[in-house]
Structures are given as structure tokens and as C-alpha cells.
Amino acid sequence: MIGLPTVEANWALISESGIYQSFFDHHPDAVYVLDLHGDCRDANPACIQLLGYSRQELLRTPFKRIVVPEGLDRCACDDVGQWVQAKSITFETTAFHKHGHRVEIRVTHTPIVVGGNVIGVFGIAKDVTQQKRVEQELIDTERLYKLISENSEDIISYCHPDGTFGYISPSVETLLDYKQDELIGKANTCLYHPDDIPYVAAIGERIRSGEDVPRFTCRVRRKNGSYRWYETTLKFIRDEQENLVQMVGIGRDISEQMALSISLEHAVTMAKLGHWEWDLKTGNVSYSRQSYRNLGIDNANEVFTVERFASFVHPEDLESWREEIGKAVDARRTFDHTFRISRTDGAVRFLHSCGELVYDDDGVPVRMAGIAQDITEHKLLELQLQQSEERYRTLVENSLDAIGVFEDRKCVFMNSIGLQMFGATSEEIIGSDYFDFLHPSHYEESERRLQAIMWNERLRPIEYKWVRKNGEVFHAEVLGSRFSDTAIQVCIRDITERKQAYELLLRSEKLSAVGQLAAGIAHEIRNPLTALKGFTQMLREKSRGTKRRYFDIMSGELDRIEMILNEMLVLAKPQDRNFELKHVDLILLEVITFLSPQAMMKNVTIQTDFQRDLPMLSCEEGQLKQVFVNIIKNGIEAMPSGGNMLVRLKTQGDKVVVEFVDEGVGIPEDRMPKLGEPFFTTKEKGTGLGLMISHKIISAHNGTIGVQSRLGEGTTVSLSLPVGLPNR
């Protein structure tokens, strides 16, 4: 090197370095060297492939004509050494390919310092989209989670094949300050930075030619004239002939992420992305500084072999790692594997490593070069997301309430409690309309509430009537919340039992009030009633002819008043009960025999269907007779034109069931819920106390009364009484 100028000697020293040459030749990104005048002194194969120039052409062409650092004032001067300022700089720029098209790249320029003097620039250029692929996978995962749990604040748009907006979400007003109607119908290029329009236009041509471009990144103009970096994820709708019908885009502001990319070294460190090269002949492996950091090694001069690296692989992953790297060499394919390592400090980390074979002139593989990235944080985030999703799924599936998600009023999810509540399978529920579950009387009000929910209004729970798949109507409270731009989540709580308990409480309170009222009325009326009956009887004996008939009517009405008072006293005070084992069929036969003459006068035939060998029932015989008389008399009076009454007696499990079936006029549906309430009756001269007293007697026997009726067809009254001794 004697006689060479100092600068040339320095360049020669660098070029002859084996470390430099290995890094330079095999680096996957474009690497080049510039002198202080901006002329290219060297370029690696990746740079030649990226720009389309041969190495000789690059050495003859001023590099600033190919790569222009746009947007940086200090890059405008011709003297490269003035803007380097002895430190690295990273910037986004555009390179011009030899064939004329533009290539978007991220460039890091690092000064080359020899003997304290800057002699040139060492540059690394990387495809922005390719470099951020790994980061974007994590962003996509986070985006999906936020879309589900917090509602997306991204800009969602639909574009026609010519690039005009057919729709853009209201979030554009918050993020870019535009109104929706300012953009709908306009070309999407009106939002892009002028320097990015050719890049976006090229993507549009690729899409129209049939290619599905998953995403692109460009600068988007706000209404105030400033620009933000946006990454847009694309989905495509094509017709049967594969012609583009519509493009759906979801744009996310990534300006802050772009600003973090200050330099390539910083980006590599942040991404924990290391470079390695394995010599297949010697078995030695060379590592970049970041690769050593990934292993927890400070001494970057340590010589490594494959077996030395294998000592860092986690024992549980060692076999699969050996198998995958062996297959890559034997089958001459790309090595791509994720595994765990145990660092020198004992920490366990996840590495994702990729490598490709390098062949000699005879096609024999001699090296494998690749990268290894520490993805522990990404893996932990995946595990956290998975655990979060599992916790949410567990919470939803174990909820005591029905939880469903409806998109555009169509069900897209329903938990198991919801399926049970509506009596349907998942296949029957998914895809059903929200109103398919709702009683028609609530359609109008529910439509207003759904719209209010989509506008993020906070609403209180409301009670609706809902319809099961079998047509059964039940009461439930519903609370809705916005789930996404097009979906809502509803929580439905069945309150049937609560309403029944409330109605039972009201009935109990009514019964108590009636009892107290009855006691007072009976006390006040009984004494004067005795006097009236006595004087009426005395006057009747002295009367003759027509007057005697009037006294007969008065005496009958006074007896009726006394009967009502006696029934009221049953409600007013507890009755003494003497439970004994009785044959319920014999009790029924006595009642039927007693009422048969009255039935015959009404042209009613009483038929019986008694099961044999019925168990004896512990009961108070007199009170049961009173119940049977009330029900049979009601059935006879319900058939003014005559008919048949069937009395059926059977067992069901440990209960005796008595059914009274008449062919009467029936009971209107709207009156059924009030049966058993005091003074409510369907008969012209009834008091409503008979059925109420019957309820009280059967309840004292730990039994139940059920009534089923159809208007014009008849009524069935069912009594269910336990065989065992009732609670006293």
C-alpha cells in the first residue's frame, strides 16, 4: 500500500477486511459505500438487485441521482461529509430503479471514521414494508383485540374499482378533520402525499390486474395540510369473473411508529434482530453483535460452532431444532423455526430464526445465512392475549345470563346459557334476526333502543317479553352495549321466577288484607244478620199468599249472606286441621253422588276414570270435600246447555293427581292470571272466594292447583297432592 494516498489506503484497508467482506456480501439488505463527494465506492449484490444497476454502473453514476434523501434540508448540499456530522442518520426516501420505477426504502447512513476523520458513508437500505412485517403481526393482533373489546377507532372505507370513496367511517372527522360527505364520491388519491401517489397508483394497477395486495403504507393529508403516516389493510370483493367490485380498507395511524425508526442499528437493537452465517464445511458460525446479545454474551469475539449454539437451545426444543435445520440442509430448503434458548444469565427466551443456503458455482451448498430475532415479548403478548380471550370466554360461558352479539341485527354469537334460554341449538340461533327472539309488541321500542346503543347512549335495563323456539313467551331484562361499528352485545336475564315470586308476594299480601277485612266484616255483620234472620222467620210464619213468597226470597238471600260470611271466616283465621289417611277415590265418589242430582237438573253427565290401587292420602277430609264441591259446581255452572264432565284420578310419581275436565264455555286468556284473586269471578252471582279458599286448602296440603282453558272448548282443573304427610 506504499504510495497510496491516505484516504485510498484507508479504503483498501476496509475492503481487505474479511469481517467487512462477509457482512458486505451476504447482508440481506442493500449495502453501499459512498465517499465524501457522494460517489459510490462499492455495492453489495442486494443493492445491485434492488436498484437494477450493475456494480460498474453504480461506480460510474453519482449516487445522489439514484437515492435522494427527500424532506431533509441538510441532505440538499453536494458535500456528503457536511450533513453526516459524525453520527448516524436514518430517513425514508425513494430510490430510482434503472428501469425508471421508484422504490420506497428506509436508509441508515453511518459515517466511516478512520484516524479520527470521516472519509465516507456506509449505507444500508431496507424495504419498509418487508422490515416491518414482524412488527405488523403484533399490531394486527392488538388491533383485533381492541376492535372486539374497545371498538375500533380506525378509518374504515369502501372504495369502488376506480378508487372513489363509496363510504368512509365517521372516525375520519376525529382523525383527519374531514366530514364524511366531503370525501364520499371523491378519489382516494385526494388524501395522499403527492410523492406517494405513484406508489399508491401502482398498487391500484396490481389490484385491478387481479392481485390481492394485503396492505400498503403512505402519508395521508389532514384537512389542516399536515400529513400522517397510515398503514391501510385491504380486503377485496370480486364477482364470479374475478372482476373487482369493491375494496374495503382499514387505515391506522402509524406516525409514531415511523418516527421511532431513527437508525438501522437502533431498529435492529429494538427488534432484537441478529444476523448469522454458518459455514457448512468447517461448522463455524459467525454472529452479528445483536445475535450475541440475544444469547446473553458480551464477548462478541467468541468463536461459535453449531454444537456450541446447540448448548443454548432449550432441552425440550433441541430435538425439533436439530430436525428442522437438518431438513433444511438435506432438502435444500429455507430454514424457518421458532424455539427457546437458555441464555447465559439463565433467562429463557424465544427465538425465531430463518436461513437460506448459499451455493458455490457447482451448485453445492457451502453456507447458510440467516437472521435470528428474539420474539419473547411477542410470544408473551400472544400468551397474554390468549389468556385474556380464555378469561373472557370463560366469563361469558359461565355467566348466568344469556350473552349474545348481533351484527346488523343478525346473531353472530350466543353463549350456552342463551341457547338454553331460547331452547335452540347454535346452528338455529346464529344468523337469526334479533326480532326473531322478541315479542312483536316490543319491536318499535326496541328499534329505537338499538339505534341509541349504536350512538353510544347509556341505557338502563328494560323488561321485554321474549319468545323461545317452541313459541313459549317469557319475561326477561335486556341490557345492550355497542360492540363495534356494526355490532351490539346484549345481556338477557330471565326474570320469570322473580316475577312469579313477586306475584306470589302480591297475592299473599292480598290474601292477608282480605283476611283482615273479612274478619272485620264478618264480625260487624253476623250479629245484625242473626236478628234479621229471626224477624224474617217470624214474619214469614204470619204471612200468607204472595207475601209469604217474598219472605222466602228474603230468607234465601240472608242464608246466602251467611254462607259468604262463613267463607270469609275461612280466610280470616286458621282452621283446625285433623289430617288422617283417607282413600281420595271414596271422597270423590261421595262428592259426585251428592252433586249428581244437581248435575242431572242441568243436563250434565259426570263420568269417572279412576286408577286402581291408589295410595291413601293424608288429608283433612272435610276441606278436600269443600274443594271438590267448589270445582265440580263451577264445572256444572260453566255448562248451561248441558254436557259431560270427566273426573280423572291417577298417580304421578309420589303425587296423586285429580283432574276435572268440563265442556263449558271456557275462560278468556286475559282473565286466567287473575283466577284465585279475591272477589274476581267469571260467574254472574259468584264472589271469587271459592277458588281462593280452594287454593288455600290445597296449599295447606302441600299441593298445587293448575287451570287450563280454551274459550268455547272447556276447562281442565288439575289438583296435585303429595302422598306423604304435609307440613303442619
Residue 389 lies in a domain: no
Q: Judge if 556 and 628 occupy the same domain.
A: no
> Tell me, what DSSP letter sits at residue 39?
B
Average pLDDT over residues 409-429: 86
Average pLDDT over residues 38-57: 86
Q: Flag whether 337 is in a domain.
A: yes
SS3 (DSSP) at 177: coil
Assess if residue 265 is contained within a domain. Answer: no
Contact residues for 680 (Cβ-Cβ < 8 A; gap 6+): 671, 674, 688
Nearest in space to 356 (alpha carbons), one of 23, 20, 28: 28
Task: Write out pLDDT tens, residues 365-398.
Answer: 888 988 888 888 888 887 777 777 677 677 776 7
Q: Please report, for the domain that includes residue 633, its CATH number.
A: 3.30.565.10
Answer with the one of 323, 346, 380 that is the final residue of a domain.
380
Q: Are residues 294 and 248 in the same domain?
A: no
Whether 393 is in a domain gets the answer: no
- Region of 613 (left: φ > 0; alpha: ψ -120 to 50; beta: rest) is left
Query: Does 88 share its domain with 53?
Result: yes
| pLDDT tens sequence across 266-314 | 545 655 677 788 888 888 888 777 788 888 887 666 677 888 888 889 9
- Has residue 250 been placed in a domain? yes
Report whether pLDDT(74) > 60: no
**How far apart (Å, rounded) are the C-alpha atoms in residues 131 and 30?**
12
611 within some domain: yes
Q: Which three cell numbers stand for residue 191?
A: 388524501
203, 148: one domain: yes
Q: How confident is the model at residue 86 (pLDDT cuts 50, 70, 90)?
A: low
- Mark whether 641 and 698 lie in a shared domain: yes
What is the rounded average pLDDT of the residues 319-346?
89
Considering the domain architecture, whether residues 315 and 367 belong to the same structural domain is answered as: yes
How distant is the alpha carbon of residue 340 from its chain centre? 33
Q: Which residues contact 613 (CB under 8 A, 6 or more apart)?
A: none
What is the distance between the terminal CA atoms of the chain, rounded to a whole angstrom? 118
| pLDDT for residue 125 is more than 70 | yes
Residue 669, SS3 per DSSP: helix
728 falls within a domain = no
535 pLDDT exceeds 80? no
Q: For residue 660, is pLDDT > 90?
A: yes
| Closest by Cα among 651, 723, 660 to 694 | 660
Residue 301: the pLDDT is 66
Q: 34: exposed, middle or buried (C-beta count within 10 Å: 0-12, 13-18, 19+)?
A: buried
Q: Does residue 1 fall inside a structural domain?
A: no
254 and 283, same domain (yes or no): no
- In the structure grid, which three cell numbers stand for residue 41, read together? 465506492
Q: What is the pLDDT of residue 92?
A: 79
The whole-number pLDDT of residue 619 equals 87
Q: In total, how many domains does the chain have?
A: 6
Same domain for 525 and 442: no
Closest CA to 221 of 166, 143, 155, 136: 155
Lowest average pLDDT, out of 58-72, 241-255, 257-271, 657-671, goes to 257-271
Same domain, 69 and 142: no
Burial of 556 (0-12, 13-18, 19+ CB in 10 A): exposed
As a whole number of angstroms, the distance between CA 706 and CA 659 comes to 9
360 with 437, same domain? no
Model confidence at 221, pLDDT cuts 50, 70, 90, reads: very high
pLDDT in tens, 472-489: 888 888 888 888 888 888
CATH of the domain at 431: 3.30.450.20
Per DSSP bridges, beta strands 643-652 and 604-610 are parallel
One DSSP character per residue, 366-423 reads: EEEEEEEEE-HHHHHHHHHHHHHHHHHHHHHHT-SSEEEEEETTEEEEE-HHHHHHHT
Given a cut of 90, whether residue 661 has pLDDT beyond it is: yes
Q: Print the domain residue range for 622.
A: 580-722
Residue that is last in its domain, among 66, 92, 127: 127
Q: How confident is the model at residue 683 (pLDDT cuts 50, 70, 90)?
A: low
Do 317 and 403 belong together in one domain?
Answer: no
CATH code of the domain covering residue 510: 1.10.287.130
> Does residue 197 sit in the same domain as residue 281?
no
Taking the C-alpha atoms of residue 386 and residue 91, their distance in angstroms, rounded to an integer, is: 36
Quote the pLDDT of residue 271: 56
User: Cα 123 to the chain's mean position, in Å?
Assistant: 48
pLDDT over 70 at 454, yes or no: yes
Lowest mean pLDDT: which of 488-492, 510-514, 667-671?
510-514
pLDDT greater at residue 277 or residue 726: 277
The pLDDT value recorded for residue 77 is: 38
140-179 pLDDT, tens digit per residue, is 655 654 453 345 568 888 888 888 998 888 888 888 999 8
Per-residue pLDDT for 71 more than 50?
Answer: no
For all residues of the chain together, what is the average pLDDT? 78
